[in-house]
Amino acid sequence: MEDRKVIGITMGDSASIGPEITVKALADQSIYEACRPIVVGDACVLEAALKIVGHEEMTVRAVKDVRDAVFTHGTIDVLDMGLVSMDELVRGQVSAMCGDAAFHYVKRVIELAMDGQVDATVTNAFNKEAVNLAGHHYSGHTEIYADLTGTKNYTMMLAHENVRVVHVSTHVSLREACDRVKKQRVLDVIRIGDRACREMGIENPRIAVAGLNPHSGEHGLFGQEEIQEIIPAIEAARAEGIQAEGPVPPDTVFSKARGGWYDIVVAMYHDQGHIPLKVAGFVYNQERQAWDAVAGVNITLGLPVIRVSVDHGTAFDQAGTGTASELSLKNSLEYAVMFARNRK
């Protein structure tokens, strides 16, 4: 019996680096040894990407059904949506055409996952402006997945090497993020983080809950959120047997996590969690004026399906050059396989 999991990969925005890094990632034979990948996108765009990145020895095979895929290294199976006109495609530019196509790639891969035709989904980046320009009013992938799967309680997890972080809030203003730090939401995210670690094979995860304010409020001197909301959530989690600690001062919690003190960090808002992960995973070479590494993954937790994403944007400035790093996409595929194998 075939034990390699089927992974559905969205191509992302056709004007972005998505098609190029998809080809570069799938040029690695080890990906096919670990899983059975199928791209949801446009075959014509991937065929053009083969030439851009210098992998013309590979072929793109358009299919209309997952069951028609061959899952063989050297042949990229793509569920061809036929939504992009190569005559109208301008790489590196926002367009409603590409935004609409990117949205429908995501919608289709969710349907495949909900129907059990793929075991996990991996998403390349789309441009939020383009998606909204096409009339699909969402702030990001996470919100699309939540809406189309009917999920109310979810969160984003970022991971790079041994550092993992889940968020109490993400795509809202900083002012609103502070208002969203409530006991029940913090407790829910602690629970989701605990479950995610167990799904990754960590039996007794140690969870650090970051404070919201400087020095975690300094006993109320710099804010009351820790006393009124965060500490009660931690106490409730510990009463359930979860190894939650905190509130840990935000300026030291990630150093501790990177050193192995904690298995996962609960961040209170988007940038509190994103900045330290990207400082660790994104490495810019000033001498070469190029990125040496763009590593890390983004995982939506709490969904009925598995969704892992690259931890970078569309990089329109690199589109069409063939120089973009595929490392984050390969990391995402590895995480998707791991979650698919461990999901019960």
5-151+304-342 is classed CATH 3.40.718.10: yes
Predicted pLDDT of residue 260? 93
- The pLDDT assigned to 56 comes to 93
Give the pLDDT of residue 336.
Answer: 94
Q: What does each of the 344 residues of the chain score in pLDDT, given as a tens digit?
A: 578 999 999 999 999 999 999 999 999 999 999 999 999 999 999 999 999 999 999 999 999 999 999 999 999 999 999 999 999 999 999 999 999 999 999 999 999 999 999 999 999 999 999 999 999 999 889 899 999 999 998 888 888 888 999 999 988 999 999 999 999 999 999 999 999 999 888 989 999 999 999 999 889 999 999 999 999 999 999 999 999 999 999 999 999 999 999 999 999 999 999 999 888 877 778 888 777 666 678 889 889 999 999 988 899 999 999 999 898 899 999 999 999 988 76
- H or E element at residue 44: helix 43-53
- In this predicted structure, what is the pLDDT of residue 344? 66
| Domain locations along the chain | 5-151+304-342, 155-277
pLDDT of residue 284: 79
CB-CB contact of 283 with 270 (8 Å): no
Query: Does the fold of domain 155-277 match that of domain 5-151+304-342?
Result: yes
pTM (2 d.p.): 0.84
Superfamily name with CATH number, domain 155-277: Isopropylmalate Dehydrogenase (3.40.718.10)
Check if the beta carbon of residue 248 is closer than 8 Å to that of residue 261. Answer: no
First vs last C-alpha separation in the chain: 19
How many angstroms separate the CA atoms of 270 and 209, rounded?
Answer: 14
CA dist 158 and 298 (Å) reads 5
Rounded Cα distance between 188 and 129, Å, is: 30
